[in-house]
Amino acid sequence: MGLFSWLFGLFGGRSGQTSDRQPDSSLTTRPERITSTDAVGKPNRLPPKIRSRPRLVPSAQHEALRRRQQVKQPCLEVAGASPYRFARFGSRTGQYLDLSDDGDEALLGQCGLPVFHTPEQLADWLGLPLNKVAWLVHRFSAGHAVSPEKAHYHYTWRQKRSGGFRLIESPKQTLKQVQVKILREILDCVATHPAAHGFVPGRSIVTNAVPHVGQGIVVKFDLTNFYTTVGFSRVVAIFRRLGYSREAAIWLGLLTTTAVPSNLPFDRAKLYAVLPYLRRHLPQGAPTSPALANLSAFHLDARLSGMAKSFGAQFTRYADDLTISGPVELSAGLRTLIPLVEQVIRRERFQSNRQKRQVLRANQRQSIAGVVVNIKTNVKRADFDHLKAILTNCVRLGPSTQNRLGVADFAAHLRGRIAHVIQLNAARGNRLLEIYNGIDWRR
């Protein structure tokens, strides 16, 4: 009867009789603190409440936009002759498809972009024969290069500092001129998100670091294979959003993306590294790739900027480096913020490198894209000391003894490194400049 007496007493009654007293409000609002006793008489606490993982809930506006994007526009089939050169066949009927009638000239004029709808008009705008433009997109070889020798890119493998390999795909002269024209007259006319600072005119690593100066918490994220993640369909969608017809957007996408030949030579250490390059992607080394990558990440920047603002924090992105910073109070919400950021990255079809994710506090060195931001924008002490030692040895022993990497214009190389330091810390940079002016370049 001891157990029943305890239960009646717990609810305000007495042993053997009922009571009209209501239970204590503290017991109803916080049931997790109620304890019971086992057979021995020891108190047992109920198991703690399991915290559910935060998840994103799509808004009504986002769902409406997604449904509009899923609506496919009909293709106009043309019987008989081709409506224009290099028109495409329908896979079902075998008739030609006219994909040049769905452009938005009003939108193109609003953005100040050149107007063309067909391959002939694109070739006239580029100032090249149509057959040469078709050769650049491998129209005569099933849409891809059959060998590295016939490709329009130079391929160079470079090892990453964090391990693994990166393929640098540099366009050859003709294709590079075409891509530069696309960059200057189309992509440079389109505004990027304010949070994007990499490869944007008027912005730099300094503007990327300034919003995070003096913050109590700095959280850094990294995107894996940033350029190869942006595929051909995403690039075509970017040009379609600008107002170009499907035919023009496909040709622009073919001119700005590439896929390595399947017989590209590589050793066993690079077996897994070559896989992301087999599908059409943005080539790292092409002049158009940074601008297209920024445009493809526009929704990522918008969503993370809004999320950071709701947490009282700031967000910036420099290429594949994402940074969120805020006051010390932000540390209480990191358990919710970090999973939400990872979800946004995945939903925007990017990949996060969790090994490079960092949480830096005020008592640590907070470095963003090589810029220290603890108190003010500054250069790393080790980098400053190393450059100062090189300049001092140039004065004492001569510059020829310090050019160990065989840089062609060693003087311009040193001036560039000094200018970088001046941009971050003028006082330190001027000290290095004084040493540089004392170098005898005849030695």
> Residues 26-50: pLDDT tens digits?
444 444 444 445 555 555 554 555 5
> Residues 70-112: pLDDT tens digits?
555 555 666 567 889 998 887 777 788 889 999 999 999 999 9
When mean pLDDT is compared across 15-19, 109-113, 434-438, the lowest value belongs to: 15-19
Residue 244 has pLDDT above 70, yes or no: yes
Distance set, CA 399 to CA 35, 327, 333, 389, 413 (Å): 78, 46, 52, 12, 12
pLDDT of residue 36: 47
